[in-house]
């Protein structure tokens, strides 16, 4: 499974990139707004920090403007994945951009029906929002399972399942068990995945016992 980090904060991305565990970055208008910085400056800087895909989202909802925005975003860097909403205009934009060699991440997916359409439109990534489905008492992981099962039936579908709206490490574990290609996680969730109280206790015990030996490895 690939890990994308879901943030527009440069310091967070740089810190996690140094672990070697980050395969890409996803941003959205809300994250850009939270950063308080110029959109193009942020996306360009992120694209220079990571080798993998960097999702940058269009801001319009009509096809003509969306396509122009997508083309402009694709010019920022070769690893840009243009992010479009799962609407008729978004899928039409996806088809044209994909046909021209641009990576497209179709976002705001909440049904298997929508995921099929995104794959037909040539999306590189489909982003089902598991946390938002959980919020309305639907099991977001059921949707991930359905999409993975459907895509597996059609080898010509090259769309990767990118699990979004991840709220906890267990979302990542369940997505991995199902076989999702990517999980995009907030930095806080990725940090949680490093931690376990028994790891902390075991390390403290080993360190204490080593100190008692009076020895040094260096």
| pLDDT 10s digits, 185-212 | 999 999 999 999 999 999 999 999 999 9
**Residue 29 pLDDT > 90:** no
Which pLDDT tens digit goes with each residue over 84-96?
999 999 999 999 9
In the predicted model, what is the mean pLDDT of residues 30-53? 93
**Residue 34 pLDDT > 90:** no
- Is there a contact between 180 and 148 (Cβ–Cβ < 8 Å)? yes
**Residue 8 pLDDT > 90:** yes
Residue 178 pLDDT level (bands cut at 50, 70, 90): very high
The torsion of the CA quartet 98, 104, 107, 113, rounded to 10 degrees, works out to 30
Specify the pLDDT at position 106: 98
Which residues are bridge partners to 189 per DSSP? none
Residue 35 pLDDT level (bands cut at 50, 70, 90): confident
**Residue 156 pLDDT > 90:** yes
Average pLDDT over the chain, rounded to an integer = 96
And the tokens for 113?
A: 């029906």
Please give the positions annotated as active site.
83
**Percentage with pLDDT > 90 across the chain:** 95
Picking from 195, 180, 121, the residue whose alpha carbon sits closest to that of residue 145 is 180
Which pLDDT tens digit goes with each residue over 71-84?
999 999 999 999 99
In the predicted model, what is the mean pLDDT of residues 148-177? 97
In the predicted model, what is the mean pLDDT of residues 18-42? 92
Q: Which fold has domain 2-213?
A: TIM Barrel (3.20.20)
Q: Structural domain boundaries of the chain?
A: 2-213
Burial of 184 (0-12, 13-18, 19+ CB in 10 A): buried
Q: Is the dihedral of CA 169, 30, 141, 150 positive or negative?
A: negative
């Amino acid at each position: 499974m690939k890990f994308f980090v879901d943030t527009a904060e440069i310091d967070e991305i740089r810190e996690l990139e140094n672990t070697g565990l980050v395969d890409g970055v996803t941003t959205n208008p809300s994250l850009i707004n939270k950063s308080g910085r110029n959109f193009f400056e942020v996306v360009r800087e992120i694209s220079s920090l990571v080798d993998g895909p960097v999702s940058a989202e269009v801001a319009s909802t009509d096809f003509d403007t969306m396509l122009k925005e997508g083309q402009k975003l694709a010019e920022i860097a070769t690893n840009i994945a243009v992010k479009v909403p799962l609407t008729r205009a978004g899928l039409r934009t996806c088809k044209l951009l994909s046909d021209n060699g641009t990576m497209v991440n179709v976002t705001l997916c909440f049904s298997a029906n929508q995921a099929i359409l995104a794959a037909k439109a040539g999306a590189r990534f489909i982003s089902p929002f598991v946390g938002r489905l959980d919020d309305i008492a639907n099991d977001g992981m059921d949707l991930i399972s359905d999409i993975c099962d459907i895509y597996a039936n059609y080898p010509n579908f090259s769309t990767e399942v990118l699990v979004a709206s991840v709220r906890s490490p267990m979302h990542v574990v369940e997505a991995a068990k199902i076989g999702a290609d990517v999980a995009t996680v907030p930095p806080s969730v990725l940090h949680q995945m490093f931690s376990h109280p028994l790891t902390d206790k075991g390390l403290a015990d080993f360190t204490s016992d080593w100190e008692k030996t009076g020895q040094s490895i260096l």
